[in-house]
Amino acid sequence: MTVRIMGIDPGLQCTGWGVVEATGATGISFLAAGSVRTGSRMRLSDRLLKLYDGLASVISTWQPNEAAVERVFVNSNPASSLKLEQACTIALLVVAKSSLHCAEYAPNTIKQSIVGVGHAGKDQVRFMLQAMLPEMIQNVGKDSVDALATAICHARHARW
């Protein structure tokens, strides 16, 4: 059974996305990756709409069967945490409006699934993804790398 999975790494300034096809837990193929960027000078409502429209376009183009979103974490700045949560809510909304099953994964779960260590660094995650997905473009941004890792994490945890 082959499942197309869209991974999303939410962020207000840059939301990364990645699409893979999974055949079981180990057969994973890279399809596409990118990001939706918003300008810091844009009104919040316009930024959220741009995230929604950008992710909806990716779903329309790549037609995933399922989605996975990196769960946000609370940091020391409450205002930043709130903005990040708003971006996450938009990601969940666009996925729900597309009638896709969606799973959420904590960052440590994603890293554990990719590297084998829950507190791995971003460079370690990128290195492992390039080993797993040799066709992955070298200049994929860090947000897209996190989104691809989220999609692969879902492929390894989902029960089809």
Name the one residue in this structure whose structure tokens are 């918003």: 38
- Give me the catalytic one of 21, 53, 66, 70: 70
What residues contact residue 79 under an 8 Å CB cut-off, 6+ apart? Answer: none
Cβ–Cβ under 8 Å, residues 153 and 70:
no
pLDDT for the residue 137 = 67
Q: Is the pLDDT of residue 66 over 80?
A: yes
Judge contact between 90 and 84, C-beta under 8 A: no
Please confirm, yes or no, whether 46 is among the known catalytic residues. Answer: no
What is the model's pLDDT at position 83? 87
For the question of residue 70 being annotated catalytic, the response is yes
Pairing status of strand 14-23 against strand 27-37: antiparallel
Residue in 21, 66, 143, 146 annotated catalytic: 143
pLDDT tens figures, 113-158: 999 878 888 889 999 999 988 877 677 888 999 999 999 999 999 8
Cα 46 to Cα 10, 86, 115, 121, 122, distances in angstroms = 16, 12, 36, 32, 30
| Residue pLDDT, tens place only, 16-58 | 999 999 996 569 999 999 999 999 999 999 999 999 999 999 9
Domains annotated on the chain, with CATH:
2-157 (3.30.420.10)
Q: From the candidates 9, 21, 66, 146, which is the catalytic residue?
A: 9
pLDDT of residue 6: 98
Region 93-102: mean pLDDT is: 97
